[in-house]
A and B are shown apart, each in its own frame.
Chain A
């Protein structure tokens, strides 16, 4: 008896696999060794993640290692929000055929006892999937005083909880992203203010040193402007 074996080829096969093995573009190597993994699922393209990372990194223009860590977090938050929204939309789209079946089952209740019931339901639903299905669906539903929005309502009813949870997940990721961006902004503003204060202190100290210099000789030429209020006040 021959046994069929599947041998897994060694090394990356596609460009997508190769991208997943490469370090993130622009992320310093010393930071990458701790937080450099891409949080992507099977079926998600690492090249798209890298492109997003490059765009956001260019926008943030990280000044030091702390800002690089924040940049990576922002990219992950954006990626997760996108994923949650994509899934949320798919939840409704893929729940549509099940909702159609449910609506038809409810409408054909009088035939439920027959052995052909499942066949009938499947037949009706599959006829709606093909070309011109929308018109057929509208025609069928009109017989019972309904319109295609009944299917949309049924889809939403079946998936409302998951839809709401996916929406919350996306909103949470957005909040994380906004919080991190605010933190970068706050830190830069705080540092700029700190540097300004430090520069003012240095200036003031330099002026004090000039003022305290022992006067020698007959002619003293002051380098202070007569309009300098701060100097005037001190004098």
Chain B
């Protein structure tokens, strides 16, 4: 089987053309990036605001828990059946599927941004205020840099979620690497299905490693010594604060 996958993957004809690997890869990255950008534009400012002011905390906690329970496949089908008829042509599945990707990417990013700012040491915040910084200055120069590890891990789990869901979205007609899996399953073309699975897994791994490197380069070295150690446990409830790294449901 491994040989048949290798044969399929090394066949130049499978890489070119409108339904070739390169085109599908570009589509997959295109959908994922667009959805993540829109989600980040909504979720990061909102998370920072909630973390900074402490207003609406219960909203984040409940939203993230609830979002994890909602099956993305069901959500995808619901969106396409509901919203699809309102559009015509390719947009009929592109808009609902894109919307689902954005909706699924928001909770992990939101919780990362919120938990990051919320978890900043009160001493650091007080010191910044003591130095005469105003609210937005504290946010920009202290809270955001300190929150970056969690903001980044929120973005990383959202990215994995979106790449996985974009794969599944091939079943409602979206392009991307998921086409090889869904089409291969439909016609029982095992080498194509398996090769698609390998490509999707490789894409997810490479993107996550890339984001890990980005995280390494943007997070201040003063913090990296601390990040990755044992999370603090809430003494009263015995519950660890939400770790956005753990969000994944597709």
Instruction: Tell me, yes or no, whether A binds B.
Output: no
State the B residues within 8 Å of A (CB): none
* Residues of chain A whose beta carbon lies under 8 Å from any beta carbon of chain B: none
